[in-house]
Amino acid sequence: MMTLKVNGHDHQIESDPDTPLLYVLRDEIKLNAAKFGCGLGQCGACTVIVDGKAVLSCVTPVLLLEGKQVTTLEGLGTIDAPAPIQRAFMEEQAAQCGYCIAGMMMRAQALLQRNSKPTDEQIRVELEPNLCRCGTHMRILRAVHRAARLMDTADASSPMQGSAQ
């Protein structure tokens, strides 16, 4: 039994320590934003934020996460009060099938937390590990720029619950 801190809450975890974080999030804590894509750390659909950095949850056993802060998309905003990154993706209509989008948003969020005004080139390089098969890349690029602008304005500056660090 270990304690896992997700979106600001402590969870007692029953799974084995070598269980990938993705399974614990989805099956045990019932947070379904992070998606199972390839299970090999090659597509980015399972991306979450751990201590401020984008991490592939399908190849991250929970035993690595003792004392660390995990943030999932649910920790950024809600349907009623979406976070800037979520608003931006909606306003740019950046999702087609949407399967990759949670991972895209998490990696973009991690980028924006350390670089509030990334260039096109920096966004492209950062999001390279995340695959989108529908082809909404140009909209995703615009959405990340839009999120940067939204975060720059005072009313939308901090993500919900303040748990993404």
Partner 1 sequence: MTGLPRIIAGVIGGVVIAGAAAGFAVTWRPAIAAIDPPALASFDPALVKRGRELAAIGNCNDCHTVRGGKSFAGGLPVPTPFGTIYSSNITPDAATGIGRWSEQAFRRAMRSGVNRDGQHLYPTFPYDHFTHVSDQDDAALYAFLMTRPPVNAPPRANELSFPLDQRFVIAGWKLLFLRHGSFEPDSNKSAEWNRGAYLVEGLAHCGACHTPRNGLGAERPNAQFAGGDVDHWQAYPINAQSPAPVPWDAAALYAYLRQGFHPDHGTARGPMAEVVSNLSSVSESDVRAIATYMASVFGVPTPNQKNQGEAALAQAKSPAPVTLPSDPNATGASIYAAACATCHEAGRAVPYGGVNLALSTALSSPDPRNAVNIVLSGIRPVEGQRSPIMPGFAASMNDDQISALLRFLRARFSNQPPWSSVEKTVADARQTQTVFLQPSSGPHNAPADATQRDKP
Interface positions with partner 1 (CB under 8 A) = 17-20, 39-42, 50, 53-56, 59-61, 63-64, 121-122, 125-126, 128-129
Other beta carbons within 10 angstroms of residue 58's beta carbon come to 23
Q: Shortest distance, CB of residue 154 to partner 1, whole angstroms? A: 29
At residue 111, what is the residue type?
L
Q: Shortest distance, CB of residue 32 to partner 1, whole angstroms? A: 21
Residue number with CB closer to partner 1 (49 or 101): 49
Residue number with CB closer to partner 1 (73 or 111): 111
Q: Shortest distance, CB of residue 100 to partner 1, whole angstroms? A: 16
Reference 107, options 90, 85, 92, 136; nearest CA is: 85
Other beta carbons within 10 angstroms of residue 121's beta carbon come to 8
Residue number with CB closer to partner 1 (82 or 103): 103
Rounded to whole angstroms, the Cα distance separating 161 from 77 reads 8
Q: What are phi and psi of 88, to 5 degrees?
A: -60, -45
